[in-house]
Amino acid sequence: MGFRFTAQEIASKLSVYGWVRNLSDGRVEIVAEAEEAVLKEFLGEIQRVFPRYVSGTEVDWEAPAEGFSDFRVRF
């Protein structure tokens, strides 16, 4: 299974809401909402599952704004 769909599966297990998409430059963008500890677990699980594919992360912590009801793969 690919990165985005695996991220979606992990998010569903942890009750993380938001979305994931590929960017044109080869990076992946994730926008996610949950409690901070859950988000850290989510990111840690992604890095555990894909240790060879995650070469770096950039995290911006912001107040929840979009009120997501699920986690989706965007195309």
**Per-domain residue ranges of the chain:** 3-73
Residue 53 confidence (pLDDT): 86
What is the set of active-site residues? Answer: 4, 22
Residue 34 confidence (pLDDT): 95
**Any bridge partners for residue 72, and if so which?**
19
Residue 64 confidence (pLDDT): 82
Render each residue's pLDDT in the chain as its tens digit; 75 residues. Answer: 799 999 999 999 999 999 999 999 999 999 999 999 999 999 999 999 999 988 889 999 998 877 899 999 999
Q: Can you tell me the distance from the alpha carbon of 7 to that of 19, in angstroms, rounded to the nearest whole number?
A: 9
Residue 56 confidence (pLDDT): 87
CB 72 within 8 A of CB 8: yes
Architecture of the 3-73 domain = 2-Layer Sandwich (3.30)
Residue 65 confidence (pLDDT): 79
CB 19 within 8 A of CB 74: yes
* 33: three-class secondary structure by DSSP: strand
